[in-house]
Amino acid sequence: MDRNLYIPWTLKYKPKMLSEVIGNEEAKGKILQWVRSWERGKPKKRALFLYGPPGTGKTVSIEALANDMDMELVQSNASDYRTAEAVKRFAGRASEYATLFGKKRLILFDEIDGITGSVDSGGLRVITEVVKETRCPIILIANEAYDTRFSTLRTYCLLIDFKKPPMSEVIKHLKKICLHEGIEAEETALRLIAERGSGDVRSTVNDLQALAQGRKRLTYEDVSWLASRDRKEVIFNVLKSIFYARDSLSAKKAIDMADVDPDMLFEWVYENLPYHIKNLKELAAAMDILSRADIYRGRVRSTQDWSLIRYFLDLMTAGVAASWSRRAPGWVPFRFPTRISSMSRSKAERTMLSAIGMKIKKRCHMSSSRAIREVIPYLRIICQNNLEMASGLAKWLDLDDDMVTYLSSKQQ
């Protein structure tokens, strides 16, 4: 089996040089200028504070810069260093001592939003002290820099704003990936994926991989059913928060992470569980929980008692998370729900069936659903084998040319 099949494309096509990072040319120029200013001595602002929406290239720009300039990157997710002692151990020593092989050092605090709040036990205060005394460049990254909790830290930092890259650049990046993967992709399909990504390049590439991996051709029809991304986090992160939650509360909060329709989320969970849970007993337990969630969903629909919706949501999130050990070997890509895709692609067919059913209803005095189920199969046989009889029935039922063509086609 080709191991490359399971490599996330966000890693496979991750920029290795700063020039390869999409968009934000002005921001990248300021970063490069600031880092080079250390060659002339300590600058007035000893830290950079990069901020902007997720997926706009903040972290990857610093990683690429360190590679370009052959610097040792000391990198940390700041949410893992919540105490003053941990921050001192990580950043304090790194900022004071030289590297083993004489390389210049660059310290990166990623996702610094994660160390704000009372639980940090002084972590943010110590970072501010480290920035004031550092002997090497420090870079801080957050989605939002103007939180009041950063007011003191900001005075010691040069702020650089990262914006969403131009749509044309995102599409160009997707085309490049498709070219390397041997995928013939329609421009309209890539444009739709880029538009639904809302400037989040990382999520857009994830979407492309989920849609196109294993295909030789990607058309607009393959992606047109995608729901609009009107949410704070992409659906992949929502699923990750459910499947790999540390506790039930974290899994339940996944609903709040994104403005996702619960029915659509149910399809995502249902589609992806078998690929992530390898233990058959655990998979059976998770599917049993999901089936109970589906029962409550059905009761909400039939009784319109919306107080039951909480049981549906809790079982679909916390219930699923608690039903397995969350030990999945390797990286497993999330997949788009095939049931939703199939339903959307058959929408035109269902519309046609409904229209023909209504014609039969008027003539035969039966429900349209019964007409679709019991009459249309025989109409198809007649239309495909007896043109004279089909012509008479079409006239009697008042079927238009499109309806007759549909019934006559043997590709149904």
Q: How many CA atoms within 13 Å lie on the side-chain side of 316? A: 28
Backbone angles phi, psi at 185, to 5 degrees: -115, 135
**Strand pairing partners for 316?**
none
Please list, residue by residue across 280-305, b when 16 or more beta carbons sit within 10 angstroms of its beta carbon and e when fewer do. Answer: eebbebbbebbeebeebbeebeeeee
Q: Would you give per-residue pLDDT tens digits along the chain (412 residues)?
A: 344 445 678 888 999 999 999 999 999 999 999 999 998 888 889 899 999 988 899 999 999 999 999 998 887 765 555 566 767 666 655 555 555 556 788 888 887 876 644 444 567 888 888 888 888 899 999 888 888 888 889 999 999 999 999 999 999 999 999 999 999 999 999 998 998 888 889 888 888 887 887 789 998 877 876 644 444 346 777 888 888 887 888 888 777 665 556 777 888 898 888 888 888 899 999 999 999 999 998 888 778 777 788 898 899 999 998 888 866 555 677 777 766 555 555 556 777 888 898 899 888 888 877 788 778 887 888 888 778 888 888 889 999 888 888 888 765 4
| DSSP string for residues in 30-97 | HHHHHHHHGGGS--SS-EEEEE-STTSSHHHHHHHHHHHTTPEEEEEEGGG--BHHHHIIIIIHHHHS
Distance CA 22, CA 90 (A): 30
Tell me the chain's radius of gyration from C-alpha atoms: 28
Q: How far is CA 390 from CA 44, 349, 358, 404, 409, in A?
A: 86, 20, 18, 8, 13
Q: Which helix (H) or strand (E) holds 246?
A: none
Residue with tokens 């399809």: 267
| DSSP code at position 232 | S
**Strand pairing partners for 108?**
75, 139
